[in-house]
Amino acid sequence: MFGEAIKVVNEAEAAARTMRGEAARRAKQVIEEANLAGEAKLREANQRAETECAEMLQAAEARATREAQDLASNTENKKAALGARAETVMGKAVELIIGRIVNA
């Protein structure tokens, strides 16, 4: 009976060692799968971030181009208005000078 109990204990210990070894192997496998999945998620996130950055840069460049065109248009409009005003003032100045010369 004592020999039978030792045999049962030895079998239980062997089974426990086998189970621990299998659990350790499975844990390593799960960790490796998690690492691979995490790396894949990081690559996907990095790709999405690069795409979003490129889109944001393109939008910013388009907005800057529009604003520069608007500024140039406004500048041209102001330049034309100042030119017209200068011609009016110059015409009045010429009339004044001619009037003074004629009346002098």
1 pLDDT above the threshold of 80: no
Rounded CA separation 104/95 (Å) = 14
Q: What is the pLDDT of residue 23?
A: 97
pLDDT digits (tens, 9 = 90+) for 2-59: 788 888 888 889 999 999 999 999 999 999 999 999 999 999 999 999 999 999 999 9
pLDDT of res. 3: 81
Tokens coding 8: 């049962």
The DSSP line for 57-86 is: HHHHHHHHHHHHHHHHHHHHHHHHHHHHHH
Whether pTM > 0.75 for this model: the answer is no
Amino acid, single-letter form, for residue 74 = N
